[in-house]
Structure 1
């Protein structure tokens, strides 16, 4: 049996709440992953990324 009248509002509201909860879970998971890095690891990754960008720029300008 399909929802009627105001029941649709309840269904839409429940879907919205579920969406907000899922987004919060994903954000918390990403934050945990980000905080698990040591400062030295982050610094090393940034230096590697910078070196790759510079190498790409140098090869493009040749």
Structure 2
């Protein structure tokens, strides 16, 4: 019976700790103004736009075109 009590107390402590972490994260998330969030999103978008495309679309889909007939034949 003592083991069950210890497990129950450990479970309650885990729930309380996870609730505290979630509350802290929510407070940090809500601390930003909409303008700050908008500027961060624009910075991320600009950073992604600067990264070149690794391969043209034709090269990326060439393998798919060859595999599709083989997959259809197997069925």
TM-score by length of 2: 0.67
Q: Which runs of 5+ in 2 are unaligned?
A: 57-75
**What's the secondary structure of 2:25's corresponding residue?**
helix
Larger radius of gyration: 2
Deviation at residue 38 of structure 1 after TM alignment:
0.5
**What residue in structure 1 maps to residue 14 of structure 2?**
19
What is the RMSD of the two structures over their aligned residues, measured on CA atoms? Answer: 1.5
Q: Which runs of 4+ in 1 moved over 2 A?
A: 59-62
Deviation at residue 55 of structure 1 after TM alignment:
1.5
The separation in 2 between residues aligned to 1:48 and 1:60, in whole angstroms, is 21
TM-score by length of 1: 0.80
Give the aligned length.
56
Q: Which runs of 5+ in 1 are unaligned?
A: 1-5
